């Protein structure tokens, strides 16, 4: 089954404790992206990757890091989480950045205390 898998789905952590949200897709998609969803703000892009070893900032990259060492994986790293990073996070992938529809993971709800 074609899918994007994120883990963990739910996480409560404390300020400053590094965490990683994993994302994996099994569709051989080149494009992958991370979004955060906040009430009233819609979906905002954090980072994206056009291919292996190619990553770039989206609209709200501060406080986040990503890597793309393999085509299927695109982890999101919060080196020192802060309460303003409490949000619902979605990973997505697409065959082509411009023309392809995005396939989304189920979302990861993160709470930073």
Partner 1 sequence: AQKVTQAQTEISVVEKEDVTLDCVYETRDTTYYLFWYKQPPSGELVFLIRRNSFDEQNEISGRYSWNFQKSTSSFNFTITASQVVDSAVYFCALSEVNRDDKIIFGKGTRLHILP
Looking at 53, 56, 70, 79, which residue binds partner 1 (CB under 8 A)? 56
Please name the helix (run of DSSP H) or strand (run of DSSP E) that holds residue 66, with its range, or none: strand 65-66
Count of residues touching partner 1 (by CB under 8 A): 25
Of the candidates 66, 81, 10, the residue with the CA atom closest to the CA atom of residue 35: 66
58's tokens: 């989206």
Looking at 41, 79, 82, 83, which residue binds partner 1 (CB under 8 A)? 41
Looking at 2, 15, 59, 83, which residue binds partner 1 (CB under 8 A)? 59
11 contacts partner 1 (rule: CB under 8 A): no
Pair 79, 18: CB distance under 8 Å: yes
Q: DSSP 3-state assignment of 76?
A: strand
53 contacts partner 1 (rule: CB under 8 A): no
**How many contiguous H segments (helices) and E segments (strands) does the chain have?**
0, 11
The site for partner 1 (CB under 8 A) is made up of 33, 35, 40-45, 48, 50, 56, 58-59, 88, 90, 92, 97-99, 101-104, 106-107
């Amino acid at each position: 089954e074609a899918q994007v898998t994120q883990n963990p789905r739910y996480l409560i952590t404390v300020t400053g404790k590094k965490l990683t949200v994993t994302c994996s897709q099994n569709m051989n998609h080149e494009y992958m992206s991370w979004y955060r969803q906040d009430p009233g703000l819609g979906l905002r892009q954090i980072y994206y990757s056009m291919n292996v070893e190619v990553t770039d900032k989206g609209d709200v990259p501060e406080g986040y890091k990503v890597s793309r060492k393999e085509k299927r994986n695109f982890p999101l790293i919060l080196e020192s989480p802060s309460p303003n990073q409490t949000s619902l996070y979605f990973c997505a992938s697409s065959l082509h950045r411009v023309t392809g529809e995005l396939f989304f993971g189920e979302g990861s709800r993160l709470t930073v205390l």
